């Protein structure tokens, strides 16, 4: 079963004046392959009468590493629509630097 813990929230206004409320979550679930948990990220974007959500699971067994990614995404106001692509870039950069 996947658990979610709210890490950060952010209120922003678009160029059109629309108010967005972004929520950044650390997700976790019991690992099938190793003892302990595997961590991921969920972003929710509350826009007027709907909620956009994206989840990327199984990023790492290291909670601190995934929390660092959550903070980077929040600092840069990343929305659910582009989270997977940006997260892929962050992970690739981390692996090859």
The per-residue pLDDT for range 27-75, each reduced to its tens digit, is: 999 988 778 899 999 999 998 789 999 999 999 999 999 999 999 999 9
CB atoms within 10 A of CB 6: 11
**pLDDT greater than 90 at residue 97:** no
Q: Is the pLDDT of residue 76 over 80?
A: yes
The yes-or-no verdict on residue 26 having pLDDT over 90 is: yes
Task: Give the predicted TM-score (pTM) of the model.
Answer: 0.91
Which pLDDT score, from 0 to 100, does residue 42 have?
98
The most distant pair of C-alpha atoms in the chain lies apart, rounded to whole Å, by 48
Q: For residue 37, what are its two tokens?
A: 């948990």
Query: Phi/psi of residue 86, each to 5°?
Result: -70, -40
Q: What is the DSSP letter of 27?
A: E
Residue spans per domain, the chain: 3-96
């Amino acid at each position: 079963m996947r658990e979610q813990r709210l890490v950060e929230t952010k209120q922003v206004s678009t160029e059109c004046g629309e108010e967005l409320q972004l929520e950044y979550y650390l997700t976790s679930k019991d690992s099938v392959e190793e003892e302990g948990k595997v961590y991921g990220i969920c972003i929710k974007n509350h826009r007027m009468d709907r909620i956009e959500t994206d989840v990327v699971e199984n990023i790492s067994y290291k909670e601190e590493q995934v929390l660092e990614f959550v903070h980077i995404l929040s600092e840069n106001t990343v929305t659910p629509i582009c989270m997977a692509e940006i997260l892929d870039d962050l992970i690739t950069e981390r692996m090859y630097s």
